[in-house]
Amino acid sequence: MMKNLSYLLALHSIEGLGSVRLKMLLDYFEDPKLAWEASKKEWESLRLQRRVIEGWINVRKKLDPEDYLQRILKSGVGILTFFDPDYPALLKQIYDAPLILYFKGNKKILNQKSIGVVGTRQVTGYGRAVTEKLTQELVEARLVIVSGLARGVDSIAHRTVIDNGGLTVAVLGAGLNNIYPPENLRLSQEIIDKGGVVLCENPPDYLIVPGVFPSRNRIISGLSLGVLVTEAAKDSGSLITARFALEQGREVFAVPGPITSYFSAGPANLIKEGAKLVTSAEDILSELGIGANKRVTLSASEESSFSDLEKQILKFLENEQKHIDEISKKLNKPSSEVSASLIKLEIQGIIKSLGGGVYIKSFPAEKIGFSKSSS
């Protein structure tokens, strides 16, 4: 953890003190504790808004920084700051990168190759079909899917990832203790349980207020190599994500739809403005210079070299990643025995670790004895 993290979090809890202003404070004081304990005159010299200064004075009277930090950690929320070495490299490149990310789940995937998938909340049957199809294909290419846990396209994208054994990032507007929409509370937990991550730049108890969703959208695009809009009206919030992607130098992809549909107008306009027209994941992969990962199977001779337990593990990992505890429970084997087999298979390149005890089948095509079979 960075020095005086508790004071940084305390400052971050002040209403109106966003990432840009907070970075300015840190540049001036060099230490969040010094900023927290500074005089009102020093804050006024930085020409901060009066409401921000008043908020700082009020928060400082009632908040103990160390107690605040411990309450967050005890709630199961992780903290990732801009200064940490594992802060997402792509996100760090944007102008107004969040100074702090609060998260639950596997933060390691935040530095894997990712694509944002967004669209309308009022999704049609067509929108559902194309979102499921393209998301599944992107998962098969081993890309992490980033979306916003909203109703409609976002929820469909997250669900498709989970159902196909992939990894997904859900970026929230409100804090982690205020999942919105509330019906997606279970989905958010599934994302975490399956090796994904749910995150927010706002403190855990932060409520829904005007502006949180557009602000959230810059993080979706900031984490991604590109953003795919599958279905959206011409005034859809997902187009804000596409605009952020352009500003951040990321690719924008759009799915053409029926010209008679109100929800085809957004992608159609994006395509007119230069977005890449997409009908399959290959369109996205080729634009990004990413080769599609073909599924491969073991030859009979290769498979016969494994122990019975190793064969059971490989069969269990056939279609999706699993946690070591889940594997042990399913196969009714001690975790130590399963762990030894997992390590052996990982060394051989047959499976790979996604971090946090989560494993996935990973057959490198270059291994001798493997034969490719297209998915």
Per the CB < 8 A criterion, the answer to whether 176 and 204 are in contact is yes
pLDDT tens-digit profile of 179-228? 999 999 999 999 999 999 999 999 999 887 767 788 899 999 999 999 99
At residue 292, the pLDDT reads: 54
Greatest mean pLDDT among 84-88, 115-119, 335-339 lies in: 115-119
- Classified as helix, coil or strand, 16 is coil
Q: Give the C-alpha separation, 141 to 114, whole Å.
A: 11
Q: What count of other Cβ atoms lies within 10 Å of the Cβ of residue 320?
A: 17
At residue 302, the pLDDT reads: 55
Q: What count of other Cβ atoms lies within 10 Å of the Cβ of residue 155?
A: 21
Greatest mean pLDDT among 35-39, 153-157, 262-266, 317-321 lies in: 153-157
